[in-house]
Structure 1
Amino acid sequence: MYRYLSFLALLLAAFTLSASPALADPSDIAAAERGVVRVVVIGSDGEEIYPISHGTGFAVSPTMIVTNAHVVREAMQDDTLRVGVVTSQGDDAVYARIVSVSSRNDLALVETTGDLRLPPLTLAGGTPQDSGEVTAVGYPMNVDRAQGLDIGDIFRSQPAVKAKGFLSGARPSRQFDTILHTASIARGNSGGPLLDACGRVLGVNSFGADSGGSDAEFFFAVSNRELIPFLRENGIDPQVNALPCRSFAEIDADERDRIEREREEAAASLAARSDAMRERRDRARLEAVQSVQESRENAMALAFVLTLVGWSAASYAIYGKRRKREEKQVMIAGGIAAAAFLAALFVWLNRPGIDEIDARIAEAMEEADEPGDTALNDTSGGELTCSIETDRSRIVSSSASDIDFAWAEGGCVNGRTQYGSAGGEWTRVFVPQSEDVVSVNRYDPDTRTFVTDRYLLSRSAMSEARTARRQYDPPQCDAENAAIRLGEMQGAVLDTLPERPNERLVYSCSAKGRR
C-alpha cells in the first residue's frame, strides 16, 4: 500500500511539474514597462501645483494612454484640475487631455501633449487564458509611502512595481467582462496593465475583492474583450498578437528537434539514394557486360567473316595469276583481299575491351542522375520573397508578415547596403533614432534563412547602443574588404545588447515568383 501511495505521489508531482505554466520572461516585462506611466490628477493654488491622486496607465499608441475611468474622475468633475503623465524612465512629465471615458467598464483614454512618444504595449488576442502566470505593473501608493516618498516625488520618474500572480479565471463583474487574478494590486495600481508571460496586455487592473483581512486576496482586471472595442470606437487600432506565448527555451528545444529530424531524414534519404544508386549500378553493370560481350562477339564474328572473304579473294587472285587470267580480275581480287584483311584487322583491334564495361556503367549512371533545381541551389543571390515561419519564431509585438529581400554574393543588398561578415554569419545591425529597439538581421545564403532578432531596450540601454553605433560609418559595397570591416565595426553595438533578444522572427526565403 505504501509503495502504491508513493507511486501516486511521484506521478502527481510529475504531472504538476509538466503542467506548470511558463514563467514570465523578465526582459519582456521590462520591455512592457517602458510604456507604463503614472497618471496624476493635479491641482494648483495659482502658485504651485500638487497631486490630488494618482493611478497607472499604459500606452496603446505613441501618444494615447489607457487608464481607469475612476483614476481621472476627479479631473472630469472639476475643471480646475488637470491630468499629468510621468514616465517610468527619464525625466519626462507632461500634461494630458481626457479623450474618452467609459464609466460602464471603467476605461478611460487620455492623450499626452508635447513631444513625448511612448512605446505602445501589445494586447494579447485570441481566446482569453484561464490559467498561467501574470504580472501586474503599476504604482501602488503603499509602496510610495513605505519608501518615504513625498508628494513631490510623484512627479519624478520612478520604476514601476511588478507583482506576480496567477490567473484565476474569466468572469463578468459589474456588468462588464473581467479577469480574476492573484497578482497583488493596491490604490495607485488602477489603470495599469495585467501582462502575460510574454509582456502582452491581458487586461486593465481595476479593483480588488474585499478580503476583510482574512481571506485569500483576488483582484480584477477589465478584460481585452472590453478594451479592444473601446479603443477601436475611439479610432485606435491597437497592436494585437494572438500567437501562443512561447519561451526561447521552447523554441530552442523545437529547433533542436527540427534539426535532428532533418538530420535523420537526410540520413534516411542518403541511405535510400545509396541503395537506389547501388541497384542502378548493378543493373547498369549487368547491361554493360551483356552489351560489351555481345559487341565483342559481333566484332569477332565480323572479323572472322572479313578474314574468310580476304582469304577467298586472295586465293582467287593467286589462282587467276597462275592460270594467267585477265590482269584486271586478278587486281580486283587482290584489292578485295587487301581491303578485307585490313577491315578484319581494324574490327579486331577496335572490338570493345573489358574497360569499356566501366565506361558504359559511368555513362548510364550519368544519364540516370536527375539534374538538381539550380534555382533553389543557387546561393549567389537575387530577388527573394521571405515567408515568416511562426513555429520557429518568437513573436511578441511585431507583425508576422512576409517580406521581400534582395541578396548578392559578397553581402551587398540592393547595391548599397552592406552586410557584415563575422564568425561565418552575414549580419546587419539597425539602431534607429525613432524607437527604442535594436534589430539584428542575419541571412544564411546556403539555407536561404533570414532571421531578425529584436531587442526592446530601456532608454539608457538604447542610448548606449546609439553611442556605439555613432562610432562608425558602414563601408560602401564596393569598398575593399567591406563585409569583414563592417562585421568588426558592428561588434561594438552587439556588445551593448542583452544576451537574449525579446523577439526572433525566422523567415524561409525563395526566389521571387517561386514557392
Structure 2
Amino acid sequence: MNRFLAMFTIALAALFASPAQADPADISAASRSVVRVVLAATDGDKVAFVGHGSGFAVAPDKIVTNAHVVEIARQEKSVVIGIVPSQGGTSYGGKVIAYSSGNDLALIQLQDGGRLPPMTIFGGPVADGADVVAIGYPGSVDRAQGLNLDDLINPMSPVKTRGSVSGGRSTKQFDTILHTAPIASGNSGGPLIDNCGRILGANSFGSLSDGNDAEFGFAVSSREILSFLRKAGVKVGLTATPCRSSADISLQEQRREAAARAKMEALQRAEKAKRQQAETKLRTTISQDIVTERENQMAVAALMLVLSLVAAGGAGYLMLRDQRTPAIGTAGGAALLLVGAILVFLSRPAFSEIDDRVAVAMKEQLPDDNGTNGGQNLATAGKYQCRLNPERSRITVSQTDSLDIDWTEGGCVNERTQYGRDGAKWSRIFVPNEEQTVTISSFDPTRAEFTTERYLLGLAAMTKAREIRKQYGNRACTTDEQALSDIAEMVKAIRTELPMQTNERLVYECEKLSQ
C-alpha cells in the first residue's frame, strides 16, 4: 500500500508539474553582471548628461553593449563613458576597444581597476516560445522615479522583464531574436537571458507603436556576440547545455532515489529468502546430525554400562574363587566403564545446540553485511576518475566532463586539501577573494560520488561569507581532530548564509583506478 501511494504521488507530481520558471537566484546572479553605460560630455569643469544604455560583463574587465549606445563617444572626444555597476559603491570609467556597427555591438574595457562577475553565454539553439528575461535600465522607469544625474551615476538594481521568444523572425542585417519581454529606451545593450541566467542575446531595438516604447524587442543573438568577441580576442564562458529547473532535477532525484530504494529492498528480500532457505536446510541437516550423535553416544554408553556390569560380575566371581588381586583389578575396570558410560551419556548433544550450530554454519556460508553502508561498497583510499552525469546535474555556468581525485579515508583530497565531516559526506567550502562565487565540493564515500555546488552571490552575501571564512585557518591535510572540527563548522556556518537553492550543481560518479 505504501509503495502504491509513493508511486501515485510521483505520478501526480509529474502530471501537474508546470513549465520551468526562471529561478530568482539565477536572475539575481545574472543581474550582478549588468551595468548602466552612461555617456557625459565634459567642458572644463562642466559635465552634461548625454544619454545612457545598458551592458553586461563577459570578462571581469570587459563589457558588451550596443554600438549605437557608444557611437557618439567615438565621434566626440569630449564625450566620456562611465560604467555604473548594479551593486557596490563604485563606478568606473570605460573605453571602447572593439566596435561593429554591422551587428550593433561594442566592447568596453573597464578602467580604474574595475572588475565584475562575468556572465556565461548560451551557445545552443533557442526554442520558439522559450521563456526569456530582459535586464537593463529603461529610461521610462528612471523618469517615472524622478531620478536625476546624480542618481544615474550611482549603483542600483536593474529592471527585469519577462517574455517569450517568437521564433522564425529575424532582421535582414544581422541575426536577432524576436521576443516579447518589455524593453524601452535605455535597455539597449542589456542582456536577454534564459531561465538559468545565461546570455541569449543583447537587446538592440524594439518595434514602435504610436511613438511609445517597444511592444516587441529584438536582441542581437548569441551567435553574433560570440563571433564578435572571438574577433576581439576575448575568451568567454560558454555552455550549450539546455536549462533545467531545480524542481525538475529534484523530482528526478526523488524518482532515482525511490528506484534505488526499491532495488535495494528487492535485493534485501531476495537475500533474506536465500538466508531463510539456507537456514531451513541447515537446520534439518544439523537436527538429523544431533539426533544421530545422541543415539550413537547413548548406544556407546549402554554398551559401556553392559560391559561394566559384566566386569562387576566377573569381579564377584573372582572374589568367590578367592582370587583377590584379579578381582580388585576387574572391579576397578568395571568402575571405570561405569563412569565412562555416565560421562558419555551426559555429554550427548542437547537439542538446544541446534540454534548455535545453525548460527555458526550460516556465518561460514553467508557472512553478514553489518549494514554499515546500506549494502553499498564504501570508497577506499586511492585515485578515482569521476565522470559528470548530466542527467543528474544542473549545469548553468560551467561544465567539466570529468575530473580525477586522490581520496584518503581521512578526508584528504589530492594530498593537499582537507575536507571536513558533513553527515555521510566529506565537504570543503571555497570562498575566493577575486570572484563572487561560493563553491561547496563534497565526496560521498558510501556512493563514490563527487558533487560541486556553486552559489553566485551578490556583494553583500559574498562579503559576509568572506568574513566567516576569515575566522578559520586555511587547513591543509591533517588528522588533527580540532582542525577537522573547524572545517566542518566552517562549512555549516557559511551554509547558513547561502540561499536555499544552488545556481549550479554538478554530480560526478566515480570509479577507482587500478593501481
Write the distance in 2 (CA, Å) between the matches of 1:288 and 1:491. 55
Give the corresponding residue for 2:458.
Answer: 458
Query: Helix, strand or coil: the match of 1:269?
Result: helix
Query: Helix, strand or coil: the match of 1:395?
Result: coil
183, 186, 195: which is aligned to 1:185? Answer: 183
Q: Which deviates further from its counterpart, 412-421 or 157-166?
A: 412-421
Alpha carbon RMSD of aligned pairs, Å? 4.6
Q: Is the 8 A contact 2:427 2:440 kept in 1?
A: yes
Amino acid at match of 1:458: G
Query: Helix, strand or coil: the match of 1:99?
Result: strand
Alignment partner of 1:365 is 2:362: yes
Give the corresponding residue for 1:59.
Answer: 57
Give the corresponding residue for 2:30.
Answer: 32
Q: Deviations over 1:44-73 (max 9, x none)?
A: 223334332221111111122211122222
Q: Report the CA distance shift for 1:472/1:291 in structure 2 as closer, same or farther (over 3 A).
A: closer
Q: Report the CA distance shift for 1:175/1:283 in structure 2 as closer, same or farther (over 3 A).
A: farther
Write the distance in 1 (CA, Å) between the matches of 2:454 and 2:467. 18
Q: Report the CA distance shift for 1:412/1:98 in structure 2 as closer, same or farther (over 3 A).
A: same
Unaligned runs of 5+ in 2: 1-11, 307-337
Q: Which deviates further from its counterpart, 372-381 or 103-112?
A: 372-381
Query: Helix, strand or coil: the match of 2:165?
Result: strand
- Displacement of 1:350 after TM fit? 9.1
Give the corresponding residue for 2:255.
Answer: 257
Query: Helix, strand or coil: the match of 2:464?
Result: helix
Equivalent residue runs for 1:103-182 within 5 Å: 103-182=101-180
Amino acid at match of 2:186: G
Amino acid at match of 1:119: P
Q: Report the CA distance shift for 1:457/1:271 in structure 2 as closer, same or farther (over 3 A).
A: same
Give the corresponding residue for 1:500.
Answer: 501
Identity %: 45
Write the distance in 1 (CA, Å) between the matches of 2:99 and 2:432. 35
Q: Report the CA distance shift for 1:414/1:499 in structure 2 as closer, same or farther (over 3 A).
A: same
Amino acid at match of 1:132: A
Query: Helix, strand or coil: the match of 2:438?
Result: strand
Alignment partner of 1:232 is 2:230: yes
Amino acid at match of 2:502: P
Query: Helix, strand or coil: the match of 1:507?
Result: strand
Q: Deviations over 1:165-214 (max 9, x none)?
A: 22222433123222111111111111110111111111111111123369
Give the corresponding residue for 1:272.
Answer: 270
Q: Which deviates further from its counterpart, 414-423 or 298-307?
A: 298-307
Q: Is the 8 A contact 2:388 2:506 kept in 1?
A: yes
Q: Is the 8 A contact 1:22 1:132 kept in 2?
A: no
TM-score, normalised with respect to structure 2: 0.78
Write the distance in 1 (CA, Å) between the matches of 2:436 and 2:170. 37
Write the distance in 2 (CA, Å) between the matches of 1:226 and 1:414. 41
Write the distance in 2 (CA, Å) between the matches of 1:407 and 1:505. 22
Equivalent residue runs for 1:276-355 within 5 Å: 276-288=274-286
Q: Report the CA distance shift for 1:132/1:514 in structure 2 as closer, same or farther (over 3 A).
A: farther
Alignment partner of 1:388 is 2:388: yes
Write the distance in 2 (CA, Å) between the matches of 1:297 and 1:274. 34
- Displacement of 1:118 after TM fit? 1.3
Q: Is the 8 A contact 1:292 1:352 kept in 2?
A: yes
Q: Which deviates further from its counterpart, 159-168 or 193-202?
A: 159-168
Write the distance in 2 (CA, Å) between the matches of 1:272 and 1:424. 27
- Displacement of 1:260 after TM fit? 2.0
Amino acid at match of 1:406: W
Q: Deviations over 1:456-486 (max 9, x none)?
A: 1111222222223323436784545433344
172, 191, 194: which is aligned to 2:192? Answer: 194
Q: Report the CA distance shift for 1:175/1:216 in structure 2 as closer, same or farther (over 3 A).
A: closer
Query: Helix, strand or coil: the match of 1:260?
Result: helix
Query: Helix, strand or coil: the match of 2:28?
Result: helix
Unaligned runs of 5+ in 1: 1-13, 309-340
Q: Report the CA distance shift for 1:490/1:166 in structure 2 as closer, same or farther (over 3 A).
A: same
Write the distance in 2 (CA, Å) between the matches of 1:264 and 1:467. 45
Give the corresponding residue for 1:94.
Answer: 92
Q: Is the 8 A contact 1:384 1:404 kept in 2?
A: yes
Give the corresponding residue for 2:45.
Answer: 47
Query: Helix, strand or coil: the match of 1:265?
Result: helix
Query: Helix, strand or coil: the match of 1:398?
Result: coil
Write the distance in 2 (CA, Å) between the matches of 1:169 and 1:21. 18
Amino acid at match of 2:381: G
Query: Helix, strand or coil: the match of 1:60?
Result: strand
Amino acid at match of 1:109: L
75, 78, 82: which is aligned to 2:73? Answer: 75
Amino acid at match of 2:193: L
Amino acid at match of 1:365: M
Q: Is the 8 A contact 1:387 1:508 kept in 2?
A: yes
Write the distance in 2 (CA, Å) between the matches of 1:472 and 1:121. 30
Write the distance in 1 (CA, Å) between the matches of 2:368 and 2:234. 54
Equivalent residue runs for 1:424-503 within 5 Å: 426-473=426-473, 477-488=478-489, 491-503=492-504
Q: Which deviates further from its counterpart, 296-305 or 172-181?
A: 296-305
Write the distance in 1 (CA, Å) between the matches of 2:459 and 2:343. 90
Q: Report the CA distance shift for 1:145/1:294 in structure 2 as closer, same or farther (over 3 A).
A: same
Write the distance in 1 (CA, Å) between the matches of 2:267 and 2:441. 32
191, 201, 204: which is aligned to 2:202? Answer: 204
TM-score, normalised with respect to structure 1: 0.78
Write the distance in 1 (CA, Å) between the matches of 2:197 and 2:430. 23
Query: Helix, strand or coil: the match of 2:175?
Result: strand
Give the corresponding residue for 2:334.
Answer: none
Q: Report the CA distance shift for 1:19/1:465 in structure 2 as closer, same or farther (over 3 A).
A: closer
Amino acid at match of 2:73: A
Amino acid at match of 2:460: S
Write the distance in 1 (CA, Å) between the matches of 2:212 and 2:42. 40
Give the corresponding residue for 1:4.
Answer: none
Give the corresponding residue for 1:8.
Answer: none
- Displacement of 1:277 after TM fit? 1.9
Q: Which deviates further from its counterpart, 270-279 or 241-250?
A: 241-250
Q: Is the 8 A contact 1:50 1:152 kept in 2?
A: no
Q: Report the CA distance shift for 1:364/1:78 in structure 2 as closer, same or farther (over 3 A).
A: same
Query: Helix, strand or coil: the match of 1:156?
Result: coil
Write the distance in 2 (CA, Å) between the matches of 1:215 and 1:227. 25
Write the distance in 2 (CA, Å) between the matches of 1:355 and 1:246. 63
- Displacement of 1:154 after TM fit? 2.8
Amino acid at match of 1:447: R
Q: Report the CA distance shift for 1:350/1:89 in structure 2 as closer, same or farther (over 3 A).
A: same
Query: Helix, strand or coil: the match of 1:483?
Result: helix
Q: Report the CA distance shift for 1:509/1:459 in structure 2 as closer, same or farther (over 3 A).
A: same
Q: Is the 8 A contact 1:418 1:474 kept in 2?
A: no
Amino acid at match of 1:282: T
Q: Is the 8 A contact 2:187 2:203 kept in 1?
A: yes
Q: Report the CA distance shift for 1:496/1:289 in structure 2 as closer, same or farther (over 3 A).
A: closer
Amino acid at match of 1:399: Q
- Displacement of 1:381 after TM fit? 5.1
Write the distance in 1 (CA, Å) between the matches of 2:464 and 2:17. 40
